[in-house]
Amino acid sequence: MAARSALASGGWTPWLYLAPALVVLGGLLVYPIYQLGLISFFQYTQAQVSGGEPTSFEGLANYAELFGDPQFWQVLLATVLFAAACVVSTLAVGCALAVLLTRVRAVPRLALMLAATGAWATPAVTGSTVWLFLFDPDFGPVNRMLGLGDHSWTYGRLSAFFLVLLEVVWCSFPFVMVTVYAGIRAVPGEVLEAACLDGASQWRIWRSVLAPILRPILVVVTIQSVIWDFKVFTQIYVMTGGGGIAGQNLVLNVYAYQQAFASSQYSLGSAIGVVMPPRPRPC
């Protein structure tokens, strides 16, 4: 009776409209996640895929093997540090350019917005390939401009991570820039004029006026950046050739790919996927 009365009063009407989308999302998201978790509890390698050996229940053995592998903890630490550097750099560049957009005239502002949109719309594989060419030791213009000769940016661990960081920031800062710029434009002009009349510098206006007002927006873009940068795969895989020399540039996504597909340890790769958060698509 209660359900019928809620339905008659229109309380379930929104859910009825959402039902088709929820069914589709359930099939596309819930079921794969369920399969991912299920496989992580079994021994599932190429032998089981081909039908040569039966699948056996392993319980938490895959997780014990994963957490007992020193390489996993090294990759996890590298992933956290790399993601933190990407997040801080992306927020710094995006916020700085957002403030710049409020200081320039219409034509430069439009040009900067179009350039940023182009970087944002560029596929990750294409952008990574272009950045590899720019820093190529033989034909890249960056080495020629800096007089570095045939220096290889992808040979050293830190320089390779730095090169990937530049590409990640390049394709990620437009989201932060556009979002923060929209927030700044929504701030009442009287507030900024009062701060200027009080003699506040641009940095003081940002730190004491704009940042507190834009805190909800900054929280959103920070959370999005953390999720995106923690799950970087394409840039690392393309620019370092699958994780760098002897795996020195591995991050968790690439490490999971190597375990699951390169080594055919699908159950171990699934265990890595379970301990990683879900990922929306950044760029």
- Tokens linked to 274: 């379970």
Check if the beta carbon of residue 66 is closer than 8 Å to that of residue 268. yes
The set of residues, in sequence order, having a beta carbon less than 8 Å from that of 152 and lying 6+ positions away, is 137
| pTM for the whole structure | 0.83
The Cβ of residue 223 has, within 10 Å, a number of other Cβ atoms equal to: 11
CA distances from 123 to 85, 127, 257 (A): 22, 6, 20
What whole-number distance in Å separates Cα of residue 33 and Cα of residue 16?
Answer: 25
What whole-number distance in Å separates Cα of residue 240 and Cα of residue 225?
Answer: 22
- Tokens linked to 152: 């290889």
The Cβ of residue 279 has, within 10 Å, a number of other Cβ atoms equal to: 13
| Predicted pLDDT of residue 234 | 92
Report CA torsion sign: 222, 94, 243, 281.
Answer: positive
| Predicted pLDDT of residue 280 | 47
What whole-number distance in Å separates Cα of residue 180 and Cα of residue 282?
Answer: 17
- Tokens linked to 128: 């990574």
Amino acid at position 30, single letter: V
- Tokens linked to 126: 């294409």
Q: Is 57 helix (H, G, I), strand (E, B) or coil?
A: strand
Tens digit of pLDDT per residue, the chain (283 long)? 444 554 555 578 888 888 888 888 888 888 888 888 888 898 888 887 777 778 888 888 889 989 999 999 999 999 999 999 999 999 999 999 998 998 889 899 999 999 998 899 899 999 999 999 999 998 889 988 988 888 899 999 999 999 999 999 999 999 999 999 999 888 887 877 787 877 778 788 888 888 888 899 999 999 999 988 988 999 999 999 888 888 899 999 999 998 888 888 888 888 898 887 655 444 4
Report CA torsion sign: 13, 16, 17, 18.
Answer: positive
What whole-number distance in Å separates Cα of residue 276 and Cα of residue 256?
Answer: 10
Nearest CA-CA partner of 79 in 152, 165, 159, 175: 165
Q: Is 265 helix (H, G, I), strand (E, B) or coil?
A: strand
Q: Is 54 helix (H, G, I), strand (E, B) or coil?
A: coil
